[in-house]
Amino acid sequence: MLREHLKNYKIILASGSPRRQQFFRDLDIDFEVRLKEVEEIYPPNLTEEDITDYLSVLKSDAFEGELQPNDLLITSDTIVWFKGKALGKPKDYDDAFQMLQSLSDATHKVFTSVCFRTSSKIETLYEVTSVTFNAISDEAITYYLENYKPYDKAGAYGIQEWLGCIAVSRIEGSYANVMGMPIDKVWQYLFNFGK
C-alpha cells in the first residue's frame, strides 16, 4: 500500500539499528540503509524530546548536500529519561548494570524523535512513552546483561527481550516507540508524504 504512494521517492534509512530496519521491512516499502558516523553530542541545557529532536537532526545533517530531489532521508534517536537525566546507550557492563538498577521499581519515559529530510526541507516528529518496571533483582540484571548484551540500546534494555517480559509492569503510549521508533506515526507521515 505504502510502496505505491512512495514509488517516486528513494527512501533512505540512516540507522544501523536492526529493530528500526525491521520496522521498515514490516512497512513493506523499498528502502536502502545508508550509514554515517556521527558523534552524538548535544547542548547540556536540552531536556526530553529536545535532546532526541536535536540528535535526529544532527544525524541527518551529515547527509546535507548529498540528497537528490527524489530522496527522503530518515534519521532517528531514542533516549530513556529518568529523574531529570537522559540515559543513552551504556558505555560498558558496569554502566548498564547501574542503569538497570536505577530503573528498577520505578517509572521512566522513553523519547524517540524521527527526522525526515529531503533536498529542500526538514521535518521532525517525536513520541513519548511511559514505562514502569517491577523491582529487578541484581541476579536478574546480571543474567540479562550476560545473555542479551544490550549495549546498543538506550537505557540498557530492549522491551522486546527477556527483561521486558519479566520487568515491565505498566506501559502508557506506544510500545514500538520503546523499541526505537513510533512506527505508526512514521507510517502516517510517509502515507501523507507520498500523496
Confirm whether 94 is a catalytic residue.
Answer: no
135 secondary structure, DSSP code: P
Q: How far is CA 91 from the centre of its chain?
A: 17
Q: One of 26, 30, 77, 105 is an active-site residue; which one?
A: 77
How is residue 123 written as a grid cell? 521535518
Residues classed as catalytic: 77
